[in-house]
Structure 1
Amino acid sequence: MKIYTKSGDKGETSLVYGMRVPKYDPRVEAYGTCDEANSAIGLALSHVPQGEEWQELFSVCHIVQTKLFHIGAELATPAGKEVGWKIEASDVELLEKMIDKWDAELPALKNFVLPGGCPAGAGMHFARTVARRAERKAIAVAEHLEVNPTVIRYLNRLSDFLFVAARYVNQKVGKVEPTLHQDDKK
C-alpha cells in the first residue's frame, strides 16, 4: 500500500464518509489543528525523562492524544452522520481530575508564568497554545455546523491541563519556571 493517494493534489480532501471539501474548509482547519496539538504533545513527551515516576504523565497523555484523534474524527464527520467514538463528559472529567491532582503538588501562582523551563515543560506550553487555537477553530466550525459541545469543553480544559502539566514537569525536574519580569507588571 502506498502512503500517498494523489487525491489531494487539486486542493481537496475527504471528510469521514467520503465527502470532498477544500483543504481550507473550517472543519479541516479545526481537525488539522487538533493534529498539531497532538504532535506537540508527542514532541513534549519525547523530552520527559524515562522512569516509573513519569508513568502517570505518559499514561494520561496517551489517553489525551487518543482523544484528540477522536475529536478530529468528530470534526471531520459531516452533519447528519454518526462518529464511532464521541467525546463525553467523562473525558473532560479525567482532565479536571489530573489538573486538580497535579496542581495540588505545585506552589501557588504568584506571577504570570512564561512558557519555558525544561524542554518537556516548554513543549507542554507550546502544546497548550496549539490546543487553544484548536478550540478557537472548533468554535468557528460550531458557528455554522453542529459540533458536539463536549468537544469545545474538552479543548478548553485541555489547554488548562497542558498548562498544569508544563508546571508539573518543570517542578519535577527541578527547573524554575520563568515568570513575568517585575518591571513588566507596571
Structure 2
Amino acid sequence: MNIRIDRVVTRGGDGGETSLGDGTRVSKGSARIEAMGSIDELNATLGLLRYHVEHDRLVSVHVADIARLQSCLFDLGADLCMPVTGRPSSLPSEAVRWLEARIEALRLSQPELRSFVLPGGSLVAAHAHLARTVARRAERALVQMENAPVGGMRFLNRLSDYFFVFGRHANNDGRDDILWQPGTWKNDAINTGD
C-alpha cells in the first residue's frame, strides 16, 4: 500500500463536512464519522496504554499485542472510510478468534471473580480499564452506523473483554484488583463528615 500525505491543513472541513476515502462528502456529525472518531480515540488510548506497558517489566511482553490491536483499529477505520457494500471486512472471523485466544490465555491464570472489579490498581491496569470503556463507546458508535461492518462490531465487543482481563493481568492476575464493596458510603473510615 502506497500512502502519501502531502498536506495536513486542507481547510476542506471548515464548513462541517469531510471526505471519505472514495471522495464522498459527508457531515462531520454523521454516524459514520462519529464511529471513525471513536475508533481513532480508542487507538490514541491504546497508544497511551502501550507506552505504559512498554515501561512495566511485569507486562511488557504484551506490547506486541497492543501494537497489533492498534493496527487492527486502523484497519477498521479504513473499512469505515471506504463505504463499499459487500467489501470483505479487514477484521474477519480469524481476527476475532485471535483476540478470543489472547483473552483466554490471560484469563487462565486469574482467580474466579466473586465481585465486580473497580477500574484502577496499577497504572497499566487503570489505563487498560480506560481502554475498555473507550472500546465500549466505539462499539456503541459503530452500532449506530448504517451498514456497520459485522466483523468490526464483533472485534470491538471482544476488545473490551480483552482489556478487562488485561487490566486484571496487570493487577497481579486479579490478586491486586480493587473490588466493589456495596454500601461503602456508610463506612466511617471514608465518611467525610458531611
Report the TM range for the smaller structure's normalisation. Answer: 0.7 to 0.9
Consecutive unaligned residues of structure 2, counting only runs of 5 or more, are: 1-5, 185-194
Q: Work out which of the two has the higher radius of gyration on C-alpha atoms and give 1 or 2.
A: 2
1:86-165 to 2 correspondence within 5 Å?
86-141=90-145, 145-165=146-166
The answer on whether the counterparts of 2:111 and 2:175 sit within 8 Å (CA) in structure 1 is no
Q: Partners of 1:155 and 1:166 in 2: how far apart? A: 16
Q: TM-score, normalised by structure 1?
A: 0.87
Q: Partners of 1:72 and 1:15 in 2: how far apart? A: 11
Alignment coverage as a number of residue pairs: 179
Q: Secondary structure at the match of 1:42?
A: helix
Q: Secondary structure at the match of 1:154?
A: helix
Find the partner of 1:72 among 48, 57, 77: 77
Q: TM-score, normalised by structure 2?
A: 0.84
Matched, 1:15 2:26: no
Matched, 1:45 2:36: no
Aligned to 1:178: 178
Structure-2 change in CA distance of 1:76 and 1:2 (3 Å): closer
Shift of 1:56: 3.8
Q: Partners of 2:175 and 2:62 in 1: how far apart? A: 17
The answer on whether the counterparts of 1:118 and 1:175 sit within 8 Å (CA) in structure 2 is no
Q: Partners of 2:132 and 2:39 in 1: how far apart? A: 11
Between the aligned residues of both structures, percent identity stands at: 37
Post-superposition Cα deviations, 1:54-106, rounded to whole Å, max 9, x if no partner, equal 454111111111011111111222244847x6111111011100110000011
Aligned to 2:168: 167
The two structures, once aligned, show a CA RMSD in angstroms of: 2.2
More displaced, 47-56 or 121-130? 47-56
Aligned to 2:10: 5
Consecutive unaligned residues of structure 1, counting only runs of 5 or more, are: none
